[in-house]
Homo-oligomer: A and B are copies of this chain.
């Protein structure tokens, strides 16, 4: 048993192999004993919060909630709620909670919106797509379908065809498969729509075998053939688009391999049919069943996060522990104070911030939010050892607090802090916390924490070595080049 009660379903990245297998097992139970669960969520209120057009995800979540006997609270962008554009997402969500929501399924155009919903609400949140960011229920239904059709998730070869550059569905499914063993990929796409290099690097790192090609024919020996839509707008050259469109229109003659399973997240574009309708009747076609599986997977998720399935134990997320400062304490003795300690710093008490990156001291001083009238002295571009320079900031009679020391670390990760009092010198390297809250702003245009959206989301970054990862949109910043 795995604790799922109140767990938020935000990103496929949050799930271990065991988690995935557990969800798929429950989904299978839903498929085969649907009637048994028709009152499972009686009394629960599943709220559909759809700020964007969506047919499949919305309807299958709706049907999943119906099948489990839940009350449905619809909040659809088409339902005459245009007025709410002027309201923050958190106000809208709080209202829906107050009106009775016990599970919230949300789709929203801003990246990180589902994570923010999870932060704001004390009921579980299911991400039904947050902009171009994550869509975990799609990935889970893809995995469910593959497992159902092939009987396993290890040892498979999978071909992806189409727009591999922008296709969120593809990226997440590739990522998900890295949790399984002996997987092989074939990536079929036009040159301009190749898989992003960061994913290929990740595959290289994990020593996962893959092939890149422009030819559909090179992908038809796999276990799974995952077709996707290609949008005409991606092409400057219409002739090139026409070429690709014809090359990637799957027809019965491509499907001589009886064991390949053809998938597609749907909808197909009827004017640029990437799978010819004549394929629909073949035994290899399983995209319609794939859609159906979305209902079972979503039933499983609603049942689990509501706590009505599983052992009812509450999911406890791992908490990021704050970074600790390790101080080296040096007791002053008269001799020392004169020689190297007190004399060196010239202050009886205060803070000396040393080894600052050259030309950062004034900027850092301004950011610290020091009380007025505190005396500071600043050294800029001082020689430091051989052929190296540093800035030095002395703050007289004032000891920096933890947050201020973290701010120093943000701009000058190699700085050292000397807290000086009459008796003792406390010396430490600056340390960044594991989580930066409100200190750095995410400037990605589609991130919900970007202040331009007026969503009043306090910025939050996870610190991963030199990189900061936005808690919401998942985009990275590199320390020191803020």
B99→A291 contact, CB < 8 A: yes
Q: A59-B75, A99-B292, A277-B456 are in contact. Are A86 and B269 (CB under 8 A)?
A: yes
CB-based nearest B residue for A290: B98
B270→A99 contact, CB < 8 A: no
A55→B83 contact, CB < 8 A: yes
One digit per residue, 1 when the CB lies within 8 angstroms of any chain B CB and 0 when it does not, for chain A 86-126 equals 11101110111011100000000000000000000000000
Chain A interface residue count, Cβ-Cβ cutoff 8 angstroms: 56
On chain B, the residues within 8 Å of A82 by CB distance are 53
Residue in A62, A91, A266 whose Cβ sees the most chain B Cβ within 10 Å: A91
Contact of A80 among B50, B88, B100, B454 (CB under 8 A): B50
Residue in A45, A81, A295 whose Cβ sees the most chain B Cβ within 10 Å: A81
Q: How far is the CA of A91 from the CA of B267 in the complex (A)?
A: 8
Contacting residues of chain A (9-66) with chain B, CB-CB under 8 angstroms? 35, 43, 45, 50, 52-56, 58-60, 62-63, 66
Q: A59-B99, A95-B56, A98-B289 are in contact. Are A267 and B79 (CB under 8 A)?
A: no
A271→B86 contact, CB < 8 A: yes
Residue A209 is within 8 A (CB to CB) of chain B in the complex? no
A83→B267 contact, CB < 8 A: yes
Could you say how many copies of this chain the assembly holds?
A: 3
Name the distance in Å between A190's Cβ and chain B's nearest Cβ. Answer: 20
Name the distance in Å between A305's Cβ and chain B's nearest Cβ. Answer: 21
Q: How far is the CA of A79 from the CA of B77 in the complex (A)?
A: 8
On chain B, the residues within 8 Å of A54 by CB distance are 80, 83
B81→A53 contact, CB < 8 A: yes
Q: How far is the CA of A184 from the CA of B366 in the complex (A)?
A: 48
Q: How far is the CA of A317 from the CA of B41 in the complex (A)?
A: 41
A60→B99 contact, CB < 8 A: yes
CB-based nearest B residue for A54: B80
On chain B, the residues within 8 Å of A43 by CB distance are 35
On chain B, the residues within 8 Å of A295 by CB distance are 98-100
Contact of A95 among B76, B94, B266, B271 (CB under 8 A): B266
Q: How far is the CA of A88 from the CA of B266 in the complex (A)?
A: 11
Contact of A268 among B75, B78, B88 (CB under 8 A): B88
Contact of A98 among B88, B91, B288 (CB under 8 A): B288
CB-based nearest B residue for A88: B270
Q: A59-B73, A63-B99 are in contact. Are A456 and B270 (CB under 8 A)?
A: yes
Q: A59-B75, A79-B76, A291-B99 are in contact. Are A86 and B50 (CB under 8 A)?
A: no
Name the distance in Å between A5's Cβ and chain B's nearest Cβ. Answer: 21
B99→A268 contact, CB < 8 A: no
On chain B, the residues within 8 Å of A455 by CB distance are 270
Name the distance in Å between A257's Cβ and chain B's nearest Cβ. Answer: 24
Residue A351 is within 8 A (CB to CB) of chain B in the complex? no
B78→A454 contact, CB < 8 A: no
A80→B73 contact, CB < 8 A: no
Q: How far is the CA of A289 from the CA of B17 in the complex (A)?
A: 41
Q: Which 9 A-B pairs have the closest CB atoms?
A: A98-B292, A87-B267, A53-B80, A78-B80, A270-B454, A88-B270, A55-B81, A277-B456, A63-B99
Known: A55-B81, A59-B99. 12 other contacts (CB 8 A): A50-B80, A58-B79, A78-B80, A86-B269, A87-B267, A88-B277, A91-B266, A91-B267, A95-B266, A100-B295, A270-B456, A277-B456
Q: Which residues from chain A sit less than 8 Å from chain B, CB to CB?
A: 35, 43, 45, 50, 52-56, 58-60, 62-63, 66-67, 71, 73, 75-84, 86-88, 90-92, 94-96, 98-100, 266-271, 273, 277, 288-289, 291-292, 295, 454-456
